[in-house]
Structure 1
C-alpha cells in the first residue's frame, strides 16, 4: 500500500490505499483504505472501503487542486459515516487544509458503541504535490 500524508505542528493525516484488482471479485476496482489521523491531540484509526468510481473522482479532484490551488477534493466511504474527507483550498494564496471524520461501530456483548474522531488542520501545498505522485493517483475508471 502506498501512503498519502499531510502534517502540520504535530497533527497528521495518513491514508494508505490498496486497489482491489482481481477481476473475479465483486469489488474489483474499489479502494481498501486505512486511515490514521492525529489532530490537536485527538487520534483515530480505521479500515474501510470506497467505491472505485468515487475514488477515481477523488484522485482527479486532488490533481486539479494541486495544479490550481483552488477548489476541493472529497471522499466518502461505502459504509455511511466511516469516512468523510475533504481536502481544500483555504484562501487565494494557495494555503490548503484537510478535514474530516472517521468512525465505526464496535460490537460487544453489552451492546454496540460508535467510535469516531474528527480532524482538521492546514498544510503546505508542497505536501499535496508529493501526495499526487502515489501510484494509485493514476488509476482510471
Structure 2
C-alpha cells in the first residue's frame, strides 16, 4: 500500500459523546453499541479503565450478544472484501465515550480479521470519562 492509498480495511472505535455532531464517523458498517449492550461504565471499578485493561475486556466480551455481533461483523467484512468491487472498507464501532465497549469490539475485530491487514484506530480511548447520571434502579 502506498501512502496515498486508503487501507483496505479500517476499523475505528469512537465515542458518540466526543463527536462534534454526535454522529458516527463515515463507515460502510456502523455498530452502535450504546442501547443494546451493558455499559462497563456503570461499574465504578471499571469507569476509569479502558478497553486496554483485562477487566474491561472480560466485561465486554462476556456481555450477551457481543461475541455474536463481533462474529457477524467479521463475516460481513469478509463478504464486503470478497465482492467484485472490493475497495476500501470502513467499520466503525461506537459507544458513549469510546473507552470501553467500542474499543474492545474494534480491537477484537482487528484480531479476527488480521489476515485482511486492518488498520485499527481508537479515536477517543484517551479522552476524559463522560460523566453521566446514575442509572435508575
TM-score (norm: length of structure 2): 0.26
Structure with bigger RCO (C-alpha 8 Å, 6+ apart) = 2
Question: More helix by proportion, 1 or 2?
Answer: 2
TM-score, normalization by structure 1: 0.25
